[in-house]
Amino acid sequence: MLNFRNDYGAGCIPEILEEIKNNNNIVHTGYGLDEQCEKAKEVIHSKMPDNDVDIYFVQEGTQANIVMIRCALKSYEAVIAPDTGHIVRHETGAIEATGHKVIIVPNHDGKITPDEVQKTYESHMIDSEKCVLPKMVYISNCTELGTVYKREELEALHAKCQELGLYLIMDGDRMNTVLMSGVDYTLNDLPKWCDMFSIGGTKAGALFGEAVIVSNPELKPNFRYVLRQSAALIARGWLLGVQFRALFENDAFYKNAAHEIELAQQIQSFLHDNGYSLLIRSETNLVFPVLTKEQFEYLAEYVDFDVWEKRDDMLIIRLVTSWSTTQEEVDQLCTYLKKASELV
């Protein structure tokens, strides 16, 4: 069966496997204070040379979101997020479980707008201390719908957050695909707009791991205390350092993303040319075709994928390409999609 369910099902890129093997018999200092983590921080910082940032490594995306939000918010403060946000739909209430309310606002192609932020802030300030205090805006880039924030959108959100005294944090679980999607910004720009953001390794070819970037000086002190209390400091932290060094030293982080996007765009174009509707035009490695029940049942025999949404008699599925996806697999998928299109 073809696997287009996610971009983290395979192991890891060969470069990482080789580095883990090379370091396996070396005794490392624990909890991220080792030489490998320091080297990884240096190479990541080289991609953001104009910024004074602190860099930490955690195991996975939900954990990254938890530590960023716990670090920044007091108990009565809340985070504003679009209704498609990962912290809203896919993290089992993890943020609320830490004691912070998530204020949900409508998405616009998976994104949040300054107008929605303004409206939400004002509505919560009418009753003042009777409501939670909005103090943060959370965005995913790329979004859960595969769209990306343009430079002007990030600049506008940053300006609005500055005006209202809100932190802006970015979930960068698929940051590699964002930066290779044709946007006119790089990692070096993000600390100017975001108080904190994450860089996903798990979906970029690592076995596991996310980097958390802290750019706001107010949020830097005692960050490791938050990590420890959130069970985000692992004894064998060197495993995270090795992986991020391997991802960034020779730009595998970017090269793998270009491969994923190229294959996803092939699938998306094929769907369009063969009469399928799309939930949205994705710019990254996520594709959302709309299927009839017959098409769904046929494809499910040959392809593993996620069901994203059900609408009346139609089903929206999500197809995902990864660093390990091959051209042959995409060609085979398109063969199945062609046969399914004839069932209409």
pLDDT 10s digits, 1-43: 999 999 999 999 999 999 999 999 999 999 999 999 999 999 9
Low-confidence ranges of the chain (pLDDT < 50): none
Provide the pairing of β-strand 102-105 with 289-292: unpaired
- Cα angle at 140 between 251 and 170, to 5 degrees? 75
| Bridge partners, residue 82, by sequence | 105
User: What's the pTM value of the predicted model, to 2 decimals?
Assistant: 0.95
Token pair of 228, please?
Answer: 């420890």
Please report the pLDDT score of residue 129 as a whole number: 84
Contacts (Cβ under 8 Å, ≥6 apart) of 331: none
Q: Which of 83, 72, 82, 79 minimizes the C-alpha distance to 95?
A: 79
Please report the pLDDT score of residue 269 as a whole number: 97
Please report the pLDDT score of residue 66 as a whole number: 97
Ordered structural domains, the chain, with CATH:
2-6+253-341 (3.90.1150.10), 14-250 (3.40.640.10)
Please report the pLDDT score of residue 267 as a whole number: 98
Please report the pLDDT score of residue 228 as a whole number: 96
Please report the pLDDT score of residue 308 as a whole number: 95
Please report the pLDDT score of residue 312 as a whole number: 86
Q: Within 13 A of 33's CA, how many CA atoms are on the CB side? A: 5
